[in-house]
Amino acid sequence: MATGIKDYAARSREIIREDPGVRESVTGATIAFDEKRRQGYAEVDADAWRRWAEGVKNHTLTHLDRYLAEAEEQLQANGAQVHWAADAAEAREIVTGLAVRHGVRSVVKGKSMVTEEIDLNPVLEAAGIEVFETDLGEYILQLLEEPPSHILGPALHKSLEQVQELFADRLDTARDGDPDTLARAAREVLRGAFIHADMGITGANFLVAETGTVALIENEGNIRLTTSLPRVHVAVVGIEKLLPRMTDLAGFLQLTARAATGQPIGCFVSLIQGPAADPGDDGPEEVHVVLVDNGRTDVLAHEHAWEALRCVRCGACLNACPVYRQTGGHAYGYVYSGPIGSVLDPGLLGLHEAMPLPFASSLCGACEDACPVRIPIPELLLEWRREAQEEGLTPWKERAALAGLASVATRPGLYRLAGKIGSRLGATGAARVLPMLGEWSKDRALPKPSPRTFRDLWREGIE
Amino acid sequence: MKVAFFVTCLADHYFADAAADAVRLLRHLGCEVSFPPDQTCCGQPAYNAGRTGEALRMAEHTLDVFGGQPDNPAGADAVVLPSGSCATMVKKFYPRLATSPGASAVRATALAERSWDLAEFIVRRLGVTRLGDGLAGRRIAVHQGCHALRELRLETEPATLLEGAGAEVVPWEAQEECCGFGGLFSVKMTAVSAAMADRKLETLPDVDWVVSGDGGCVLHLDGRSRARGDRVEFVHLATALWRGVNGDGGKTGAK
Ligand code: SF4
């Protein structure tokens, strides 16, 4: 799949320079989310919950075949139809096939990262089907023809003014319409779409093996409508979304909400148990669950990266991340951005395709502290860096510089000599011999070496 | 208490005076300080870049210099580093590195257990939190290096010591946020890294000094603030604390 990942450095620079409003919006929104997450964690024994959740996910991932089989059986017993998609192309074919078979002309969608991952909307539209994103943020981005910038708040890189402009142009709202007015205008359009839609497409937050339950968390009510009004509901589900039992779900619903928004639980939780039992009952006539691999079994087989499959897509790591905050998600060039993107994308797409994401981090560790399933993101980034080094995917100058450092640092005499030369050269002289300082000095004044090294001071005696 | 001082390469070359202040401070607190001369770089730049082989070689060299056993050549009870980041390398990452084949896990663990960041050592090992009142009237913002904060969990130690020397530690909205240095990160992703520093600088309260126990962060923040034309005075924690003991008239080394 074509991604914009390799341009990360240039794109991030461009966003910061050319579109400073993005940094402002993203920083403001993520800090607010992160603050709520902290409060949400503080109200419970978050560490105990997180340890528990990590354990449940590890168990599930190491018994994934068993739980997938159980889930399939239960889903079928509930009257849902199960489809397996090895990759994005198969997943797209399955969903469009269903739409065509049912004579679908109009689709409503709940926010779903996996349908972004498989790039579903363009093929539906190519088949002449009208697609409505019904999450408010997603709807805004659909009007703007932009991909989501954040797992949870897809449009958080937009300012209120930008949305006011957009809605004034497209929905005829007042140019200074307050957020409520804007939401009401979107709701008008979307209500119509819900009523006319033949198919609702969602992702899933969890899939419970024991009962074959698709669980969806949301705050807007649009997912509830998407899964209950149209005749057909299709849930596209990554195979890592499994949970063994209903009691596990109870814990995960709460922990995920706390991590995402600090809420004790989402405003709406939909538990889908299959189609309407009798004609005339509420609910869709058919429920389809499309289980998507698309690189996940490769991630699972990876010695280290498999831990990233614990991810529940809460967005807490993005919210905590000072790197993400400067640019939002678009700089990363793929649907999964921020800390989790930087460890997941190399696994899903192949490391070569995902360079330089493992290096798009200062390794500050804020993500790991925020993550509800304790994914050791910095450690995984380091593992990918090691692999990138082994495979020669990093610039040779960098490798040469570090090899040089090591050979100097393991020879004390040489090290002392280099230090002495460095302090003689001073700031600009050092910049001339150390090519990396050239990059540094694009945005910063050069560091000033001490006129005499500590070693010299020690030799002369420190009073 | 016998302390072997691990100056770290950055402090040796860029914060020589602050490192000297750390030695003064340790002596003032009753430590006998030695300086094993063959010490070099802890290897963190290579470790963070994923160059495990080189990182391991530098770690092994450091283990040779500072010893892994109690009867190490430096004959010290503790190894103290004036850098939270390098202290983390020795304390947390050496034991991880040493799980690679052929490495000496025992030596690495022994050194890890005896090594301390400066503020950590003073508060947790020596049990000292009061250092005189030489900083009375000073308004200080503290920048915590990420490794010190999230790996060593030194959430309060630097502020405690500064306050213990009379300073007023002023809350800083972006206090716990990364400054954007991250070694190689600052040259590979230079625009993002600089924007991260900007966030720190944009939220900085009105203070006399910004103090940090991590030279790397100070170099980065100072470099960025000078490029922006800000006037911020950065002071290494060791220097700030020595001034706390000695008053501002002492022999000090503000950067
Ligand atoms: S990695 Fe953790 S914090 Fe980030 S989205 Fe996934 S579960 Fe949430």
Ligand 1 centroid–CA A229 distance in Å is 31
pLDDT of residue A271: 97
Note the pLDDT of residue A433: 57
Cβ–ligand 1 distance for A320 under 6 Å, the answer: no
CB B210 within 8 A of CB B141: yes
- Cα separations (Å) of A180 from A29, A183, A185? 18, 5, 9
Q: What is the DSSP string of A350-394?
A: -HHHHTTGGGS-----HHHHH-TT---HHHHHHHHHHHHHHTT-S
pLDDT, position A4: 94
Interface contact flag, A402 B14, Cβ < 8 Å: no
Domain contains B45: yes
B7 plus B121 within the same structural domain: yes
For the cut 70, the answer to whether the pLDDT of residue A164 exceeds it is yes
CA of A325: which chain B residue's CA is closest? B196
Q: What's the gap in Å between A371 CA and the centre of ligand 1?
A: 5
- Kindly indicate the confidence band of residue B251, based on its pLDDT and cuts at 50, 70 and 90: very low
pLDDT band at B254 (very low <50, low <70, confident <90, very high): very low
* pLDDT of res. A431: 60
Interface test with B, best of A303, A364, A367, A368 (most B CBs within 10 A): A364
Could you identify the atom of ligand 1 that is nearest to the CA of residue A344? 1
Which letter does DSSP use for residue B149 in this model? I
pLDDT of residue B100: 75
Question: What's the whole-number mean pLDDT along residues A33-55?
Answer: 98
CA distance B251 to B255: 13
For ligand 1, say whether the CB of A366 is within 6 Å of any of its atoms.
Answer: no
Q: Which tokens is B38 given?
A: 């063959």
Residue B111 and residue B7 in one domain: yes
Residue A141, pLDDT above cutoff 90: yes
> Which pLDDT value is given to residue B249?
45
Write out the two tokens for B100.
Answer: 């690679």
pLDDT digits (tens, 9 = 90+) for B3-34: 999 999 999 999 999 999 999 999 999 999 99
Q: Which residues contact B85 (CB under 8 A, 6 or more apart)?
A: B44, B145, B146, B147, B148, B214, B216
Q: Which of B49-53, B57-61, B164-168, B246-250 has the lowest mean pLDDT?
A: B246-250
Q: In 3D, which of B229, B198, B180 has the Cα closest to residue A445?
A: B229
What letter would DSSP give residue A449? P
Q: Is the dihedral of CA A135, A136, A139, A141 positive or negative?
A: negative
**Is residue B185 domain-resident?**
yes
B83 pLDDT higher than 50 = yes
Is A326 close to B188, i.e. CB distance below 8 A? no
* Whole-number pLDDT of residue B252: 43
**CB distance A373 to ligand 1 below 6 Å:** yes
Best CA proximity match to A20, nearest among A319, A316, A325, A321: A325
Q: Residue A190 and residue B203: Cα distance in Å, rounded? A: 41
Alpha-carbon torsion (A249, A251, A254, A256), positive or negative: negative
Q: What backbone torsions phi and psi does residue A320 show, to the nearest 5 degrees?
A: -85, -10
**Continuous segment of H or E residues that includes residue B168:** strand B168-169
Of residues B12, B57, B186, nearest to A453 (C-beta)? B12
Q: With CB atoms and an 8 Å threshold, state whether A443 touches B24.
A: no
Which residue is listed with tokens 């070694």?
Answer: B183
What tokens does B139 get?
A: 């308004």
Confidence of residue B155 (pLDDT cuts 50, 70, 90): very high
**Would you say residue B162 lies in a domain?**
yes
Say whether residue B178 is in contact with chain A using an 8 A CB cutoff.
Answer: yes
The Cα A428–Cα A437 span in angstroms is 9
CA distance B150 to A78: 47
Predicted local distance difference test score (pLDDT) of residue B101:
72
Minimum distance, in Å, between the CA of residue B134 and any CA atom of chain A: 18
Would you call A382 and B48 a contact, using CB atoms and an 8 Å cutoff?
yes
Q: Which pLDDT score is estimated for A423?
A: 72
**Cα dist. A374→A306, A310, A370 in Å?**
13, 8, 8
Give mean pLDDT, residues A296-307: 97
Is the predicted pLDDT of residue A22 greater than 50, yes or no? Answer: yes
Q: Which two tokens stand for residue B170?
A: 């002023």
Binary contact (A443, B40; C-beta < 8 A): no
Q: Distance of CA B204 to CAs B75, B164, B237, Å?
A: 43, 22, 17
* B194-215 confidence digits (pLDDT tens): 999 999 999 999 999 999 999 9
Q: Chain B contact for A461, CB < 8 A?
A: no
More confident position, A285 or B73: A285
Which among B53, B150, B192 has CB closest to A12?
Answer: B192
Q: What is the mean pLDDT of chain A?
A: 94
DSSP 8-state code for residue B156: S
| Mutation choice for ligand 1 from A373, A374, A380, CB with most ligand atoms inside 8 A | A373
Q: Where are the alpha helices (DSSP H) in B76-203?
A: 84-88, 94-97, 105-114, 118-120, 146, 157-164, 185-188, 190-202
Could you tell me how far CA A18 lies from the centroid of its own chain? Answer: 24
Average pLDDT taken over every residue of chain B: 91
CATH number of B215's domain = 3.40.50
Structural domain includes residue B130: no
Instruction: Considering only residues A275 and B183, tell me which one the structure prediction assigns the higher pLDDT.
Output: A275
Q: Which helix (H) or strand (E) holds A427?
A: helix A412-433
When comparing pLDDT for A274 and A1, which is higher?
A: A274
For domain A44-294, the CATH architecture is 3-Layer(aba) Sandwich (3.40)
Cα–Cα distance measured from residue B56 to residue A406, given in angstroms and rounded to the nearest whole number: 9
Residue A40 CB–ligand 1 contact under 6 Å: no
Sign of the C-alpha dihedral computed for residues A84, A2, A111 and A53 taken in this order: positive
B124 touches chain A (CB under 8 A): no
Report how far Cα A14 is from the mean position of its chain's Cα atoms. Answer: 21
| Domain membership flag for residue B170 | yes
A-chain residues within 8 Å CB-CB of B26? Answer: none
Give the model's confidence band at A175: pLDDT under 50 very low, under 70 low, under 90 confident, else very high. very high
Confidence grade of residue B111 (pLDDT, cut at 50, 70, 90): very high
Given this model, what pLDDT does residue A432 score?
59
Percent of chain A with pLDDT over 90: 85
B225 and B192 in a single domain? The answer is yes
Contacts of A382-385 with C-beta under 8 Å, sequence gap 24+, read A382/B47, A382/B48, A382/B50, A383/A303, A383/A304, A383/A305, A384/A305, A384/A342, A384/A343, A384/A346, A384/A351, A384/A354, A384/A357, A384/A358, A384/B50, A385/A358, A385/A359, A385/B48, A385/B49, A385/B50
In the block, residue with structure tokens 């799980």: B99
pLDDT tens column, A328-357:
999 999 999 999 999 999 999 999 999 999
Alpha-carbon span A168 to A164, nearest angstrom: 6
- Predicted confidence at residue A417, as pLDDT, reads 85
Structural domain for B242, as ranges? 139-246
The two beta strands, B209-212 and B234-236, are parallel
Share of chain A above pLDDT 70, in %: 97
Nearest to A295 by CA among A344, A234, A235: A344
Which one of B125, B152, B167 terminates a domain? B125
Spell out which residues of chain A touch residue B239, defining contact as CB-CB under 8 Å. none
Same-domain check for residues B119 and B185: no
- CB nearest A447 (choices: B14, B189, B190): B14
Whether A223 is in the pocket of ligand 1, judged by its Cβ within 6 Å, is no
A292 CB within 6 A, ligand 1: no
Considering its fold, how many domains does chain B have in total? 2
pLDDT tens, residue by residue, A76-128 = 999 999 999 999 999 999 999 999 999 999 999 999 999 999 999 999 999 99
Taking CB atoms and an 8 Å cut-off, how many pairs form between chains A and B? 208
Q: What's the Rg (C-alpha) of chain B?
A: 18
Question: Using CA atoms, how far apart are residues A348 and A147, in angstroms rounded to an integer?
Answer: 19
Which residues in chain B have Cβ-Cβ distances shorter than 8 Å to A366?
Answer: 146, 150, 176-178
What residues of chain A, 342 to 401, have a C-beta less than 8 Å from chain B? 356, 358-366, 368-369, 382, 384-389, 394, 398-399
| Domain boundary, last residue among B125, B147, B173 | B125
Q: Mapping DSSP to helix (H, G, I), strand (E, B) and coil, where does residue B159 land?
A: helix
Compare all CA atoms of chain B with the CA of A378 and give the residue at the minimum distance: B48
Do B6 and B119 fall within a single domain?
yes
Q: How far is CA A292 from CA A115, A208, A348, in A?
A: 10, 16, 12
Domain ranges in chain A?
A: 44-294, 396-460
With a 6 Å cutoff on the Cβ, whether A312 touches ligand 1 is: yes
| Residue B255: band (very low, low, confident or very high) from pLDDT cuts 50, 70, 90 | very low
